[in-house]
Structure 1
Amino acid sequence: MSDGLKAVFLAEQRMLLRLLTARLRDADAAQDVLQDLWLKLESLPSGPVADPAAYLFRMANNLAFDRRRSEQRRSARDGAWVDVQSDASDFPTAEEALLSRETLGRLQAALDGLPPRTAAIFRAYRFEGTPRKDIAVAEGISVSAVEKHLHRAYKTVQTFVAENGVDIA
């Protein structure tokens, strides 16, 4: 940095700080940006500057703008991060998880009590997403027969829900 630019910086330091404080609306941030400006000036190659005061004020204004834009991006990014984070209340307690696993085990036992073909059709349709028509072809039965097997399985689930007061939604 040239001695002339350094002298102008030192002479205008108070006005630069006032500009930065007005732009950033934060005295501490303004001090930081003023320090950044000084460091930036230290790293510049020396050379003639036509209007050193205007040059310094433009640099200060640009640094303040960059700081505000960076803060806005950080704030938006942090806000987006908070929005996608789950609240602790979204997770079940250990007791709720244990009760759910026990209930699921009892429901599995009820489904295991179905005839093998009915259980296989129910699993293919509900868990694997196989269309009824494809199940009918694979099992060598009509679509109507597949629907009857599904009805029997649904009846078992419905009975289990009614007997155990379970919410399966």
Structure 2
Amino acid sequence: MQEDESVVDVFLQHRASLIEYAAARAGREHAEDVVQEAFIRLSAIQGNDPQWAFGPRGEIRNLNSYLFGVVRNLCTDRLRALAQDRSRRSPEEALQNVPQKERSPEEEVLVREQLRLVKHAIEGLPPRIATAFKMRWIDGVSFKLIAAQLGVSVARADQLVRQAEVRLSQQLPDFKPRCR
């Protein structure tokens, strides 16, 4: 199917703004992919097709607004997929990709025991608090992205992570919250 040139023109006119918008919502590393996916979806729109005509039945009234809405929704979908992928990984799997120095057998036993204690302590946290903590500490996700994924404010996302840190520091004497 041939793209409607008016739709392509609107997309190209707003491409840089769309990338910045997507970067603010889903992170710079996902912005280009999200905008490209939005273009693929929007390239199917034909301006002369009655389905896309302006009208009161919920059709596209403002192509610019519609375009930013599509990018917003794709960012939300991307964040959900990333969070689901992260939540499926155990702390051990997340740590497997971290390069580590050679340890003695005694150090290895000690590290495994500490990891078991941390895992047990995290599993004892309420689900939202545990999710926020894992996203921040294990995956390095920003509070803004945590907030978007959990459907809370950025301040609340920060509170959830702090609650986890307080609870873990009470359960694990060697646990030290990170500096922000």
With structure 2 as the length reference, what TM-score do the two structures score? 0.39
With structure 1 as the length reference, what TM-score do the two structures score? 0.41
